[in-house]
Amino acid sequence: MKQFRAHIFVCLCLVVSSALAQLDSIQQLDEVVLSDRQLQQFSVGQNLIEIPESRKRITANKLSDLLLENSTIHIRQNGYGMVASASFRGTTAQQTAVVWNGININSQFNGQTDFNTMPTYGYSEISIRPGGGSLLYGSGAVGGSIHLNNQLYFRDTTQVKLFSQIGSFNTFENFIETKHSTEKTSLKFNLNRSASDNDYPILGSSRTNLNGQFEQWSAHLSFAYKLSQNSQLNYHGQFYDGLRHFSVLRPSENKSNYSNTDSRNLIEWEYDKNDFKSVVKYAFLHEAFEYNQNIETNLSTANKANTHLVKTEVYQNYGKLDTNFNISIKQTAADGDNIIDEHIQHLNFSTLLNYNSKWATLSLGLRQEFSNFFDSPLLYTIGAELPVTSAYNLKLSHSKNFRQPSLNDLFWVEGTTNLQPETALQYEASHQFNFKHQSLSFQLTGFFNDISQMIRWLPDQTSTWKPENVDEVKTYGLTTSISKEFKLMPIHFKTQLNYEFTKAIDARTQRQLTFTPQHSAFLNLDLQYKTFALNFTQTYTGKAFTRTDNAPNEILEDFWLSHLNLAYQPKQIDFFSVNIGFKNLFNQAYQTIENRPMPGHQFYVNTIINL
């Protein structure tokens, strides 16, 4: 163990020293502070979907709702406001990476992120990257990744935003944000609280949602300071504290609750000179939770984990060739009722090359990771973008990805497992058509994912559930998207339609994986008339099997959801706007997890004040 740490320390010192050796001239930095330089520059061959800022105001302040209404990502929820997970293209929630300012923040315990603990107003930019991304973002980026970034600007401005919302079931959302910047400093801080009785009626019955109340607090702080014209320090911090009660089907059942605290801290030193850039990062991530199985007897279990990450990124341009070299170390220490003082360490090397010419952009990347618990395979990615015509662009990508076992997988009540990482070979081709004069765009993407050593929790001969590397899974399908803008004076129309077909097949049984719908779609329609804006969203989720034998009578039924939002911004008071919205407009009964019914129609009204 000591030799492992020594090797890590020496490698980091060499890379940091190389970066510092080039600090010998001055260059003016860009106005915008970017915390994830790799996302745009090294996603060759893959699609990057950015959710517009305007979409945040017409949905609840939950990332799960925003993704459901603006993508074909499958969102599973244990009831409204409860634990929510996201999965791409037939993969699992553990194979979806959530990346915060360039840092993978999936839980060290279960390997996924709860999207109902991520308020959308805490982030400047929310992007979606379907397809493999393990080379850039490490474990879990098998099906796709979701990126949450905080941007800062160096401008002589001061701004304050106030957001307040009230909705059905005694639900309240409140948010305040302040920004202040000069030519040398930039500061952004926001504070958010949400709470709800969450006692919605259960459609098709005389019951209401019992023991579903929740309260959540979160805070975000970002700060940047220019040390000189070519170097600066950045800090990004996020804190969350929440208490949620888990819904029960009958009053006689034990009532449980779940409290968790997450804090994330990232310090960056950036240097930018001509064609050379370097970034040194230090991140500290803390997560802790307590699950109370019975709130009357206070029978609970608790665990906590602390993660330290040091990363160096070096960028160099040689004319048509862009290079990016990364080295990072990560150590996670976990302790609690199910895990007794365990440490997991990782050392990672990766390099990426981009070649840019008039006829194509080509990309090649390699990554090797070492750990004291498992052996990771050599990962690679190959990408190409070919601008065939001014209106037609072809994207191609192939990559090898992986997911390491989580703490829950490695350490369980019966002892330590010897699981191997999941590996996946991914292929993707995307045809993009953009007719600018007609304000029309169309995209068709085909994908194939061959996953080995998938980790599943299965019962053994004594009916004890434990994790095993057992499954070989193949996922494949098509994604289409079409968008159009036009004006019928004085009304401005914008519409977008997305559809995805996904097959996720267990290679042994040739059956569709459970809880994986084959069909999903969404339609967004925006109308702008003077100071009024109307948005209508329709989403469709196909049926999903709940049993491994694909029993036709054991399914989650397909469902349509419709949402309507009306926004008004008075001309005389341009700093004020009001939004009135309706969720599940036609009172559709639905659920994404068995026996966890979601609410029917909901109403909300919110106001936004920009000072």
Give the C-alpha separation, 202 to 231, whole Å: 57
Residue 51 belongs to domain spanning? 2-610
pLDDT at 582: 93
In degrees and rounded to multiples of 5, residue 93 shows phi and psi of -65, -30
Of 94-108, 138-152, 217-231, 328-342, the one with minimum mean pLDDT is: 328-342
pLDDT at 54: 75
pLDDT at 406: 84
Number of domains in the chain: 1
Mean pLDDT of the region 388-414 = 87
- Three-state SS string over 122-186 comes to HCCEEEEEECCCHHHHCCCCCCEEEEEECCEECCCEEEEEEEEEEECCCEEEEEEEEEEECCCEE
Nearest CA to 441 out of 449, 450, 431, 451 is that of 431
pLDDT in tens, 12-38: 343 333 333 333 333 334 456 666 777
CATH number, position 67: 2.40.170.20
pLDDT at 32: 63
pLDDT in tens, 293-347: 888 887 788 889 999 999 999 999 999 999 999 999 999 998 887 776 678 899 9
pLDDT band at 3; cut points 50, 70, 90: very low
What is the chain's mean pLDDT, rounded? 87
pLDDT at 416: 62
Of 17-26, 87-96, 123-132, 401-410, the one with minimum mean pLDDT is: 17-26
Whole-number Cα distances in Å, 273 to 102, 229, 312: 21, 10, 16
pTM, full prediction: 0.90
Contacts of residue 186, Cβ cutoff 8 Å, sequence gap at least 6 = 33, 152, 153, 154, 155, 179, 180, 222, 223, 224
Q: How many residues does the chain have?
A: 611
pLDDT at 20: 37
Give the C-alpha separation, 229 to 223, whole Å: 17
139 versus 182: which is more confidently predicted? 182
pLDDT at 57: 65
pLDDT band at 409; cut points 50, 70, 90: confident
